[in-house]
Amino acid sequence: MTNVQLDEVVESPSLNQIGGARHLNWSTIPIEQPGEGIERQMVVGERIMTCRFRFAPFLVTPEHAHPHEQMSIVMQGRVRFFVEGEEKIAVPGDVLHFPSNTWHGATMMDEEVVLIDIFTPLREDFLGK
């Protein structure tokens, strides 16, 4: 059995998998455009997925609910979230947790927004299944 030091994994750009673990960089993840003004990148595991979204200014994601638990991290920009009928402004560094079947939606404010969304179970609708 070979021992691999963490610094070897981090410093080696060609080493991106150790056993079942993966080490990825967003710059290598394909960009999809699921709608006008939306870019999406996905890292998909067995039971969890992480998506990075870029939203154009003023873009609206209609209010909806889904059976997936979701965490959203605001990386850039300001977002007006609507959660169960209440309005909240989220800024970079904010983390929002949406339990399963929570009614929610968002309106991007006056600048590009970057969000990291984490879902469990997998969003099969994102995967085309």
**Amino acid residing at 100:** S
pLDDT one-digit tens code per residue, 32-83 = 999 999 999 999 999 999 999 999 999 999 999 999 999 999 999 999 999 9
Q: What percent of the chain has pLDDT over 90?
A: 82
Which of 128, 117, 104 is closest to 43 using CA atoms?
117
**Amino acid residing at 47:** R
Please give the residue that has the higher pLDDT: either 79 or 8: 79
Degrees to nearest 5, angle at CA 71 with 68 and 73:
150
